[in-house]
Amino acid sequence: MTILVTGGTGTVGSHVLEHLSGQGADVRALTRDPAKARFPNGIVPVRGDMLDIESMRSALTGASTLFLLNAVTPEELSQALLTLNLAREAGLERVVYFSVYKGQDFTNVPHFTAKHTVEQMIEQYDIPATILRPNCFMQNDAMFKDAVLGPAVYPFPIGAKGVSMVDARDVAEVAAKALLERERASEPLPHQIINAVGPEPLTGTGIAAIWSDLLGEPVRYAGDDTAPFEKLLGQHAPSWMAMDLRLMLDRFVQDGMHAAPADVEEMRRLLGRPPRSYAAFATETLAHWRH
């Protein structure tokens, strides 16, 4: 019995591996170069690339549970569908799929629609799976150090409708618990959907106020115009990615992405505590910035 983790070097995947380490499970982590991999104790690196079919066939050999997390890329949908088909080919019946909150609604946003299409395959083929649907990560805001500490501006145009941002560590903890539950079950468990959300809907002005309180000086919200953010992001990321994320932010501004109270309560139950708040994340992040 073996858990195969994809995306193990990313923000969420690395925390998933930390939670799985020392739990008595046989865990492998997919990597393009096992010689360079740095994983927690007990995690075995295994070579694989989601677009290299034979390498994935080899990586899936002997696996009983799959954590399918693949990054936002132009090939995201192909990577996920091919991997799921290979998992079915290998007879694997335990899956935790890393999707996105409201993927079924934001149909004009490429990476949302890609993930929802993968969910449709899982449903159509009745693959025993936990669908993990995380909201926007608080950790995305760690990139705004220069803006927050410099001109005192919160630049992320998330609007005023409310986005229930979630700490990536909470998402990883829930994912690891789902993986262990499926791995340890005597037979494949029923289909499950978990909406991984933070404790409260956040707005651009509300987050700016949190930073203002922490810094003891006013922090201004840059506003709801997403075009300047796309232009700024395009200086550091491919243009397709900048537009994809701008389209997501347009929907945040137009519709929001706030969670239902039942989603928050379910996160509390799964974690055994309240989900981390943005204020707690910001306090920790500011201490890290200053250090």
pLDDT for the residue numbered 145 = 97
Topology of domain 144-162+198-259+277-290, per CATH? UDP-galactose 4-epimerase; domain 1 (3.90.25)
**Cα separations in angstroms, 140 against 146, 163, 172:** 14, 13, 15
Q: How many residues does the chain have?
A: 291
Q: What is the pLDDT of residues 29-73, one digit of tens each?
A: 999 999 888 999 999 999 999 999 999 999 999 999 999 999 999
In sequence order, what are the beta bridge partners of 252? none
Instruction: Report residue 291's pLDDT band, with 50, 70 and 90 as the boundaries.
Output: confident
Instruction: Report residue 7's pLDDT band, with 50, 70 and 90 as the boundaries.
Output: very high
pLDDT for the residue numbered 35 = 87
Residue 160 pLDDT > 90, yes or no? yes
User: What is d(CA 175, CA 169) in angstroms, rounded to the nearest whole number?
Assistant: 10
1: Cα separation from own chain's centroid: 25
Going by C-alpha positions, the residue among 159, 156, 140, 152 that lies closest to residue 214 is: 152
The predicted model gives 129-147 an average pLDDT of 97
Q: What is the pTM of this model?
A: 0.96
Q: What is the pLDDT of residues 74-99, one digit of tens each?
A: 999 999 999 999 999 999 999 999 99
Q: Where in the chain is the domain with CATH 3.40.50.720?
A: 2-135+167-196
Q: What is the pLDDT of residues 168-210, one digit of tens each?
A: 999 999 999 999 999 999 999 999 999 999 999 999 999 999 9
Who contacts 263 (Cβ-Cβ below 8 Å, separation ≥6)?
A: 164, 195, 197
Instruction: Report residue 136's pLDDT band, with 50, 70 and 90 as the boundaries.
Output: very high
pLDDT for the residue numbered 124 = 97
Q: What is the DSSP letter of 274?
A: P
Residue 1 pLDDT > 90, yes or no? no
pLDDT for the residue numbered 193 = 98
DSSP letters for 17-62: HHHHTTSS-EEEEEES-GGG----TTEEEEE--TT-HHHHHHHHTT
Residue 27 pLDDT > 90, yes or no? yes
pLDDT for the residue numbered 105 = 96
Give the tokens for residue 145.
């150090």
Topology of domain 2-135+167-196, per CATH? Rossmann fold (3.40.50)
Q: What is the pLDDT of residues 93-134, one digit of tens each?
A: 999 999 999 999 999 999 999 999 999 999 999 999 999 999
Q: Where in the chain is the domain with CATH 3.90.25?
A: 144-162+198-259+277-290
pLDDT for the residue numbered 37 = 87
